[in-house]
Structure 1
């Protein structure tokens, strides 16, 4: 393990295990990466596993642009039991639906209920979410005994794919509703940032009249970044113990994945680095549509910063310190 503070900058893809908070992952990564400057783009509940994107040192400045990317999840929805948290971490509410009601959950009704959750919809977040209500997290208010009902938010659910046939069984895994007859459905969800997958489980169960909650959740993708390229914290620990550095994606490589690219010459790099406006080439102006930033890559291949194009000229809006631009592996 390294004691000196590292200035290496980059993006780190972590495959979070269940039972950890996102803050736990950040804390351990700070030790592994040898720096306090670590942040994450989008939390995962302790129950959930999968992709968590971290920024290290100056690359935390890229996280603002990662948070809003679309996401993909694999999930298991359990129909027949309602919980206080809309997932398996809560307590069962009321009596399970029972086989009489569940028998009416045909494949056609099931498909229609999930289809009803797709598109641009108004979704009410779970009351135990991290959304702040008058400066206090909703889940903290619920735990202190308050009755919290959050306002609906507009989200876009591009796709819900049912994976395999529904499984009808008696729950025997110790989760809420154990001993009750349930229907488990595996799904793949592609959605906008801000979508609550457990709210989908809750609302599908309500639409079918049997109740529902989430029993498993794994995030597999955020924008162009896949969990297949991520490392577990144990793997990262082994890498550091061997004497190597945490395997970061260089800021330039990450920015080239996220934004249009402008490869600067020396004069352009110096001018932009000093906060001056610079005439942007025609291809750069064409690629910078709306408010999309452009990744400005210095002649040496490092990320100089993100620039905003207005008319024929561009100006840097996010700069990267020279001493943090290169990843020191």
Structure 2
């Protein structure tokens, strides 16, 4: 196995970690409107992710930086061709971070309500657009002989991509509902578990359709195995949620995301961005990668720094592991 193959795997792991972690806090952001009944319950939901949401975004920054360094041609084509949707995601993430920090700076109800609207929309829109973006990457886009994107923004909005957006939005919201039932107390915990049941059933339908479409479009034996794991994990998540085993339900909903994203990367390899105009113009792990020396240096740096980051983030989740409820929120 060459270093460019190793870095393709590492970038896949970074995106899997990002969607696993940021997925549930996107879901919680959406649920501030769908689940919370009043301002105190919205505060409970926001407080469940308050200590960890910014750490979850480190995975995105690392994935983007690793792509830039390991596969500069992939990075250039991806960020130029997907400029508008990625810009929308970036703006949403900026506004979302500001909303978390500024919401409690004033006691005015209108001020709080406006920032809560911002949290909702800046969680929903990226959750949808990430699915659209990755569906396009796997399905193939209009890349010309020079390796440049030759399509338009509207070329990215075909049925397969839109279905991918619905899948990530519903899956992240389900993951968030399971997380809420794991992290809260009282009535909101019970309502979170009930909502997770219905969200999970809807997610199962749309995710199965999307994954089967992906497998039929360009899958192999490995991607089929990941598809089976994703389906079984989602069924298990629904079962554990019904039994009130929130911890196991969260593990299984997370495993669904892990297996589903792994399937996308397995379907993609050895391409990193297939060309729908001519397969010979596709970007691959070979023609889009950096030099062997660059990849070697990156490997040493990643080997030293990655365990430190994982230990720090794991410690953060351990410190803030306790459940909270309305009774913990002062009037």
Same fold (TM over 0.5): no
Structure richer in helix, relative to its length: 2
TM-score, reference length from structure 2? 0.24
Higher relative contact order (Cα pairs below 8 Å, separated by 6+ residues): 2
TM-score, reference length from structure 1? 0.24
